[in-house]
Amino acid sequence: MARSAPGNSVKVKASPKKTKKAVPTKKRTVVQNVYQVKLDSKKRFTLRNARYAYYEVKELMDGKILLEPKVLVGIEDIPPDTLAMIDRAMKNLKKGVASAPVELD
């Protein structure tokens, strides 16, 4: 640090540490197929050449509909503790042991 004459001050700025900025990675969406659909009388539409049997549907505020494929889990993939809990719940339900109905409105 340099010395200065009395009464004069020297300001030393700390050099900022250089850090790597995280570069956001975006998945590139590649459009595979584009076609128009029309709702039938029951407000349904058909997906052509659908790869999956089950989809989760998300309706966005701007009117877009997002379909995400869902694969159901086989019973062999469910942990034994979870299966036992499901079995107990079903036995209780058959005996009439259940909570009061839930109001969804």
Per-residue pLDDT of the chain (105 residues; tens, 9 = 90+): 455 455 555 555 555 555 556 566 677 878 888 889 899 999 998 989 888 899 999 999 998 999 999 988 888 888 999 999 999 999 999 998 888 888 887
13 within a domain of the structure (yes/no): no
9 within a domain of the structure (yes/no): no
23 vs 46: CA distance, rounded Å = 39
At residue 101, the pLDDT reads 84
The amino acid sitting at 74 is G
4 within a domain of the structure (yes/no): no
Residue 77 sits in which domain range? 34-96
105 vs 101: CA distance, rounded Å = 12
Domain count, the chain: 1
At residue 95, the pLDDT reads 93
2 within a domain of the structure (yes/no): no
At residue 100, the pLDDT reads 84
Total H helices, total E strands in the chain: 1, 2
